[in-house]
Structure 1
Amino acid sequence: MKEILNKLIEHQWLSREESRRVLIEVASGTFNTSQIAAFLTVYMMRSVTIEELEGFRDALLELCHAVDLAEYQAIDLCGTGGDGKNTFNISTLASFVVAGAGIPVTKHGNYGVSSACGSSNVLEFLGIRFSSEADFLRKSLDQAGICILHAPLFHPAMKEVAPIRRELG
């Protein structure tokens, strides 16, 4: 991590492969919380390149719990979170509206990290049960036109980062 941090502090960009590798190593528990916090802090202080985003995406796809729901041709609605504007869960509301209009929705969400309430907080309060089982998700889409993809169930790699993000606010 020291090499990566030094590179970033010197205002250099990471290659796609470096970005992929660092996220895989973060997910595997290679780095301690201080190192991860330093890495996240650097990214809050600079812009991210397309190549870096591609590397992070590659790592997340490599590490995710994939479920094939292609037959539903659902749209994926996911909020941005952390806008700092104390808005309500717009993407959650939009998901209900879109599903109610007859368009299948796969709603990604998570607990609030940088705000008091994320979409998973809202959905859990409403009694929604989270599952990553394909049959459960298909049944939800068949019956309600929407299924909930609770991020920690599909991106277990992020468990190393979530508590640190929460502490950083």
Structure 2
Amino acid sequence: MNLNKIKNKLFDKQDLSVEESSFVFNLIMNGEVGEIDTASILISLKIKNESKDEIHGAAKIMREKSMKIISPNNAIDTCGTGGDMSGTLNISTSAALIAASAGAIVAKHGNRSISSKSGSADMLEKLGIKISSDKNE
């Protein structure tokens, strides 16, 4: 497959197949696509509206590349609505901290702010909590 042909297909607002999407996102996740090309691909997908095959291909690669963790069976997660553009309070991280203080095992995930003043990562860092980890932690 050829990245330039796939980019041109996106520029023409044509949907990618699962295979084409997987190819592109594999290159992106491997760091083989520069920032400008990555931005043009993501913006093109957004402008034309992502198809189910494009989401499938991207999710497939992200799952393959994601860090696998083993957590206790009784661990919980709280997940917010991040990026909903409603300007709401980050309640999911607060709920995770309250649950942990009550003895629950919490495996919190999250990201930086997109549409609010603080995403989970921003909030936890401000509290002095280390948010990055490697496979051995």
TM-score, scaled to structure 2:
0.77
Partner of 2:53: 51
CA deviations over 1:40-91 (Å, ceiling 9, x no partner): 111222322232222112111211221111x424343333422333222132
Report the AA paired with residue 90 of structure 1: I
Conserved? CA contact 2:82–2:115, under 8 Å:
yes
Kept in 2, the 8 Å contact 1:72–1:104? The answer is: no
Rounded Cα–Cα distance in structure 1 between residues aligned with 2:34 and 2:136: 37
SS in 1 for 2:107: strand
Say whether residues 1:89 and 2:90 are aligned partners: yes
| 1: CA distance, partners of 2:48 / 2:62 | 21
Structure 1 position 135, deviation (Å): 7.3
Kindly report which structure 2 residues correspond to 1:88-107, keeping only aligned pairs within 5 A, or say none: 88-99=89-100, 104-107=105-108
Q: Which amino acid aligns with 1:34?
A: I
CA distance in structure 2 between the partners assigned to 1:25 and 1:133 by the alignment: 22
Higher relative contact order (CA 8 A, sep 6+): 1
Per-residue deviation at 1:122? 0.6
Q: Secondary structure of 1:24's match?
A: helix
CA distance 1:134–1:98, change in 2 (3 Å): farther
Residue identity matched to 1:45 = I
C-alpha distance in 1 between matches for 2:78 and 2:23: 28
Bigger proportion of residues as strand: 1
Q: For the structure 1 residues 74 and 15, does the alpha-carbon distance in structure 2 shift closer, same or farther, using more than 3 Å as the test? A: farther
Structure 2 portions without partners, runs of 5+:
none
C-alpha distance in structure 2 between counterparts of 1:75 and 1:53, whole Å: 26
More helix by share: 1
Q: Note closer, same or farther for the CA distance 1:83–1:102 as it changes in structure 2 (3 Å cut).
A: same
- Structure 1 window deviating more from structure 2 (95-104 vs 57-66): it is 95-104
How many residues align structurally?
135
In the alignment, the residues of structure 2 paired with residue 101 and residue 18 of structure 1 have an alpha-carbon distance, to the nearest angstrom, of: 47
Residue 64 of structure 1 corresponds to 66
CA-based RMSD of the aligned residues comes to: 2.6
C-alpha distance in structure 2 between counterparts of 1:26 and 1:135, whole Å: 25
Following superposition, the deviation at residue 2 of structure 1 comes to 2.0
User: Based on CA coordinates, which of the two structures has the bigger radius of gyration?
Assistant: 2
TM-score, normalised by the number of residues in structure 1: 0.65
1:7 to 1, 6, 9: 9
